[in-house]
Amino acid sequence: MNRREALNMVALLMGGTVVGGTAFLEGCKMADKKSAAALPLTKDQIAFLDEVAETIIPTTSTPGAKAAKVGEFMNTMVTDCYEEKDQKAVLEGLGKIDEASQAAYKKGFMAISADQRKELLSKIDKEATAYAKSKKPEDGSHYFSLMKQLTLLGYFSSEVGATQALRYDPIPGKYQGCIDYKKGDKAWAL
């Protein structure tokens, strides 16, 4: 008995048929996907992303994005999950942020102060918002929008973000649909 016959028998036993059984088996193979960008990123590029993320979510009474190693998370997500055009956008965005820093402060992004970083990224965020409003469906995403989304996802899905920035209950009890909210309460981690 070959795999195709076995799949058909299992499908019949389960009450249905497998449409495209060979496609099902083909789906188990790793795609030979080559990224156009020079990925994975270097340690310096990951450190750069950590600083961008730390500017977006700085250390306050809770650890910031750098403590959650968001740069490494971004590298993994961009390398493994993003389409080629978004990979290129993020990779080119690293250079664009550094160029904008050079133009505004005559120093690279890594050499400017935290306040200057915040000012620079706020300006780039406004550009990204304007770009999102005017872009066509076939246009790619703005590099800073991708970085910002990855920063938020990486931080709040990390142990640091979920347990220290959000309220976390490792052993949740019964469902309570109506809980009073007090101004200033942290959101709940999922």
Query: Are 156 and 165 in contact, with CB atoms under 8 Å apart?
Result: yes
Question: How would you write the pLDDT of the chain (190 residues) with one tens digit per residue?
Answer: 566 665 566 566 665 544 444 444 454 444 445 544 567 899 999 999 999 999 999 999 999 999 999 999 999 999 999 999 999 999 999 999 999 999 999 999 999 999 999 999 999 999 999 999 998 888 889 999 999 999 999 999 999 998 888 887 777 677 777 778 788 888 777 6
Angle between helices 70-81 and 84-105 (to 10 degrees): 140
Question: pTM, whole model, 2 decimals?
Answer: 0.73
> How far apart (Å, rounded) are the C-alpha atoms in residues 186 and 179?
13
DSSP codes joined into one string, 95-164: HHHHHHHHHHHSS-GGGS-HHHHHHHHHHHHHHHHHHHHH--TTS---HHHHHHHHHHHHHHTSHHIIII
Angle between helices 143-156 and 43-56 (to 10 degrees): 80
